[in-house]
Amino acid sequence: MNSSPAPLACKELYHTVRQYGQRPLWRLATEFLQREELGRHILRYCVEMNRERSPRKTSNKIFGQQFRYMICFNLISNYMSWQRGDGEPPTLKMLQETGFASPRHVADLIALLRDSNHVIAQRQTTDRRLIYLIPSPKLLLEVARSPLSFLKISEDIKPADRSLANVLVKNPDFLALWIGRSDEEFKKLDTVFQPFANIVQFSTRDAGYLILTAVIGSYYSNIYHEEPWETGLAPENLARRFGVSRQHVRNLFSEARESGVFAVNRGQLSDINAAFVSEFETWSVGQMAHYRLLAEEIANLAAAGATSEA
C-alpha cells in the first residue's frame, strides 16, 4: 500500500476505462481530469454527500445501498418511458422483472417507499387491481442527490450558459427525464459504474458508498487544509451520521485494509493506495461528464419548448 502525496491531476484515465477514451463522455471526462484543482472539487462533492440533515438517516438507510438505489432509478426510468409512450405501465410486476433483486425484496422496498411518501401508488379507475407506481418529487431529489452534486461540480469547472442544475431542480418532469435518460444510457453500455471495482464493492454495502466519500473527503481535506474534515473517520461518528452500526463501519474499514485500498487508525486516514485515488478521480469525472451531457440535452429540450410556446 502506498500513501499518495498531494495529487497533481491524473493525466490518464483509470486503466479500466481507457478503451472508452474516444467516446464523447470520456473525452469530456478527460478534460475534467486535467484540472489541477480537481481534488478541491471532489472534496466539495464529499462534503455535500456527508452533510448532516435530520431526515437523512432514514433516507440513507433506504438509498445508501446499490440494489435499493438502482431499483429507485429503474422505477423513475419506467415511469418516464411510460409517460413518453415508449414503455409499459410502471407497475410493481414490471419493476420486479429488472433482476436487481428478488421479487420479495423489491416488493418490500416499494412498501417502504410508499410508507415514506417517496412513491405514490395510483390505483387505476379502469381496473382497481392495477396500481401504477409514481415517483414523487421527494424520490427524484433523493435519487438525484449524488448526480446533482457531480453536475454542480462540472459547472464549477466548466460553466454553462445557464445553470443546468437549476433547470432540472425547478421542474420535476425535467429531473425525472434526466434520471430516466441516465438509466437508458447505462443499459446500453455501462462505462461509468462497473469498471470501478472498489467503488462497486463498497456500494453493495449499507451506506458503503457514503462511508467511502467520507474517506476520500478526509484524504483531500488533509491536502487542502482550509477545509478540515472535522469529525474524522471515527466509526461512532460515521455510524451516527449514516444510520448504521459501529461494527458495520469497522468491518468495512477492516476489509479495505485487507484488500490494500486504505487504512484507518484511531479515526484518522493513515494510508491510501495511490491507484485507488486514481480510480475515484476517474469515477468522479466520469460521473460529471455523464450527467453533464444529459443535462445539456434536457436543457436544450427545455429551451426549445420555451421558444415554441413564446
Mark out the alpha helices in the chain (DSSP H runs). 24-33, 38-49, 56-63, 66-83, 92-96, 103-115, 137-143, 145-157, 164-169, 172-188, 197-203, 208-223, 235-242, 246-258, 274-309
At 229 the pLDDT is 73
| Burial class of 172 by CB neighbour count within 10 A (0 to 12, 13 to 18, 19+) | middle
Query: What band does 66 get if pLDDT is binned at 50, 70 and 90?
Result: confident
pTM summary value: 0.91
Within the chain, how many helices (H) and strands (E) appear? 15, 4
Q: By three-state DSSP, how is residue 3 classified?
A: coil
For residues 109-137, give the mean pLDDT. Answer: 92
Rg of the Cα atoms in the chain = 20
Res. 270: pLDDT tops 80: yes
Distance CA(87)–CA(78), nearest Å, equals: 7
Judge contact between 43 and 221, C-beta under 8 A.
Answer: yes
At 232 the pLDDT is 83
66-141 CATH fold: Arc Repressor Mutant, subunit A (1.10.10)
Place of cell 479515526: 267
Across the chain, what does the average pLDDT equal? 90
Cell triple for residue 298?
Answer: 434536457
Of residues 158, 167, 147, 3, the one with CA closest to residue 72: 147
Distance CA(171)–CA(271), nearest Å, equals: 43
Every domain of the chain and the residues it spans: 15-53+144-302, 66-141
For CA atoms 192, 197, 228, 241, give the dihedral sign: positive
Q: Which of 101-115, 120-134, 227-241 has the largest mean confidence? A: 101-115
Q: What is the pLDDT of residues 155-180, one digit of tens each?
A: 999 999 999 999 999 999 999 999 99
At 2 the pLDDT is 47
Distance CA(37)–CA(34), nearest Å, equals: 9
Report which of residues 66 and 38 the model is more confident about.
38
At 142 the pLDDT is 94
Q: Other C-beta atoms within 10 Å of 113: how many?
A: 25
